[in-house]
Structure formats: C-alpha cells, structure tokens
Amino acid sequence: MLESLLADTRALIECESPSADLDAVARCAEVVARVGAARMGASAERIVLDGRTHLRWRFGAGPSRVLVLGHHDTVWPIGTLASIPYAVEAGVLRGPGCLDMKTGVAMAFHAIAALPHRDGITLLVTGDEELGSPSSRPLIEAEARAAGAALVLEAAADGGALKTERKGVSIYELIVAGRAAHAGLAPEQGVNATVELAHQVLRIAALSDPGAGTTVTPTLARAGTTTNTVPAGARVAVDVRIRSVAEQRRVDDAIRDLAAVLPGAVLEVTGGPNRAPLEAAASATLFARAQTLAHSLGLPPLAAAAVGGASDGNLTAGTGTPTLDGLGAVGGGAHADDEHVRLEFLTGRTALLGSLLTDLLTAVPIRPETTGA
C-alpha cells in the first residue's frame, strides 16, 4: 500500500494549488479528480462556487451516513516546488502541502478504495479551506447536516494525537466615529476617536478569560488623518478564540454592548462569530470508537488533543454533527519550510480510517431529520 499511497500523494503535491489562484486550484482539482477516480473507481462531481472548484464523491443512492472531509488548496505560492520539491528520505516525506493536507486526501482515497462496501459515504474535497472556506462553507454544512458523522482529514496533532477539540473563532471590527478639530487651535471642539478607541481596546482585551481558554485580542488598529487634527475616525480588528459556545455568546454580547466613553463619540461593531468551537462532547463517542479500533489493529494507543486553530471540522460540529478531526497524516511544520510527513504512521493511520468508516457505516444511525443533500 505504501508505494501506491506515496505515488498518489506525489501527484497531488506536484500540482501546486495556492488558494488565491483560481486557475491553479482548478488545475489541482482535475489532478485530484483523476487520482481519486483511478484509486476508487468512481468519478467526482465538480462543484464550482465563486470560481473555486470543489469535488464530491457520493457512494450509494441513499442518504449519507459518513462525511469524509478534506481540501486540496494550500498556502504555498506557485514556484515553491522549485525550492521545496517532493522528496522522501530517511522515513520523511516533504513537499509543499504534504501535511496540510494532500497526504490526507490520498489517505482518504486509499481507505475508501479498500472497503468492500462504500454505500453511505460522501467524500468532499474543497478548494478554499486555507481562506476560511468562503465558498465551500454552505456546501460543507449541508453535507454535514445530512450525515451521521464527519471525519476530517486534517493532519494529526503532535505525536499523532487526534484533534478532539478546536477553538471557535469570532472576528470583529470596532469602528469609532468622533469629530475633527484643529489639534492646536481648538482641540476641545473635537471628539478624539483615538482616545475613545483606547478606552474600548482596554475593555475588549479585558474580556479574555485564560481559565476558560478564551482569548480576545485587539489586533490591527488605525486612527486619524494628519498629525495636527483631532482624529474623527478610528477602528480596530478583534480576534476571538473560544472553547465553548457559551463563551462565544458571552464575548459576542459584551462586544455588542460596548458603550462610548467620550460624549459625542459613536461606536459601530461589525462581524461576529465565524466558526463555532469543536467541543470535546462532539468528538467523544467517535474518539472512543477510534481508540478501540486502533487497539484491534495493533496500533499505538491514540491520544486526544485540544488545538487553537480552526478547520472545517468546526463547521461540521457547528451543525450538530459528531466530528472527529486530525485523522490525516502525522508530521509537522504545516505552513512552514520544514513541512513534513512521517512515513512510519501512514499505512496504520490509513487502515484506522478504513476501519472507522466500516464501523460507522454499520453502527451510526442516520438522524431522523436526514433526507440527503
């Protein structure tokens, strides 16, 4: 299996696919479709949304029992292969996007191809995950609602741990409207938007709760127009990472309830929750099944990890679908020059994915409201 798995992975890696390059993503989608069809004996449905190409394989005529989710876009610009070519040496695979997550896509192909029965599986490979899934999000959420479980082929956490928790994300911009005045002649006639912003930034930062794992971080800020004018406008971006839906709501309510300190200043809040958290409860049953299956396959015991970064697993969990993430390759250096995959885990983790799919096809009930997508 390893030789053919590496050949499929190489074909995907050597078709560069930076998310922002629509032509490159479309070219890569064709390679992914070709490799997947050859391996699984089934053709993909091409779904183009806002110019981005996503691929879907649906096995069986009935509603989906399991959604297998991956992406074929990467963060690496065209030309990266010249400096970081595909290579396998000393048990390590390298190449742009190898860990995040073209090896995971190839693993999905091989795991599904090995199954004697596939009816009830939907495999979705999107082309804009690294951008936050702007076009594929409705597609992912619709497929998740129609499934009994979602398995996400993002890379494993350190040491091969599965990702049973991911923080949710909220993104805001606070806009302050003040009133301009000459800073030397009549500053008292103005309403200083920078001063108002300073008050609000301190209030926003105070919403963090380290004990709950909540970070509320003011980031990019801008204010004023010239050095001798009381600023009439200011704004700040706010990045929020949270572990629970309750915390996401608390922070959202607090940011929307911000009130101006300076007389005459006006506040406007844009944005809001972007991705719900993948909470431990959404993964618990699937993780327990994976642990049992890993033991039966003679694999090392599985560990669980909570991570801060978001993935499309947040989207599937946000629909109420049980979700297990980090089922892809084991390695390190995602988005960095030393991105790599450890070959010693590849065949075992692919076998685990196949066993989990078999288990879910027979053991996970389809939710009563499921009608297919």
pLDDT in tens, 340-370: 999 999 999 999 999 999 999 987 554 434 3
| Strand, coil or helix: 336 | coil
Residue with tokens 């912003």: 197
Question: Catalytic residue at 14?
Answer: no
pLDDT digit string (tens) for 22-54? 999 999 999 999 999 999 999 999 999 999 999
Q: What's the distance, CA 335 to chain centroid?
A: 13
Q: What is the pLDDT of residue 365?
A: 55
Cα 160 from chain centre: 18
State the pLDDT confidence band at 193, using cuts at 50, 70 and 90.
very high
- How many Cα atoms sit within 13 Å of 163 on the Cβ side? 29
Q: Which residues pair with 229 in a beta bridge?
A: 182
Question: Regarding beta strands 229-230 and 181-182, do their DSSP bridges make them parallel or antiparallel, or are they unpaired?
Answer: antiparallel
Are the beta carbons of 199 and 243 closer than 8 angstroms? no
Q: Residue 363 has what pLDDT?
A: 77
**pTM reported for the whole predicted model:** 0.87
Name the catalytic one among 8, 16, 128, 129. 129
Give me the CATH code for the 2-166+277-363 domain, please.
Answer: 3.40.630.10
Which residue type is seen at 215? T
In this prediction, residue 295 has a pLDDT band, given cuts at 50, 70 and 90, of very high
Query: Per DSSP, what are the bridge partners of residue 163?
Result: 305, 325
Query: Measuring CA to CA, which residue among 104, 79, 174, 171 is closest to residue 134?
Result: 171
Taking the domains of the chain in order of start, what are their residue ranges?
2-166+277-363, 168-275
129 is catalytic: yes
Tens of pLDDT, residues 135-159: 999 999 999 999 999 999 999 999 9
Sheet strands (E) in the chain = 45-49, 52-58, 66-71, 87-89, 92-94, 121-126, 149-152, 162-166, 168-177, 181-182, 215-223, 229-230, 233-242, 266-275, 304-307, 323-324, 331-332, 340-342
d(CA 234, CA 199): 12
pLDDT in tens, 110-121: 999 999 999 999
Contact indicator for 156, 86 with CB cutoff of 8 Å = no
Choose the catalytic residue: 73, 196, 247, 325.
Answer: 73
- CATH code, residues 168-275: 3.30.70.360
Lowest mean pLDDT among 87-96, 194-203, 223-232, 357-366: 357-366
Phi-psi bin for 162: left (phi > 0), alpha (psi -120 to 50), beta?
beta
Q: What is the mean predicted confidence (pLDDT) over 297-320?
A: 94
How sure is the predictor about 168, in pLDDT bands with cuts at 50, 70 and 90?
A: very high
Mean pLDDT of 91-97: 97
> What is the mean predicted confidence (pLDDT) over 57-82?
94
Q: What is the pLDDT of residue 327?
A: 98
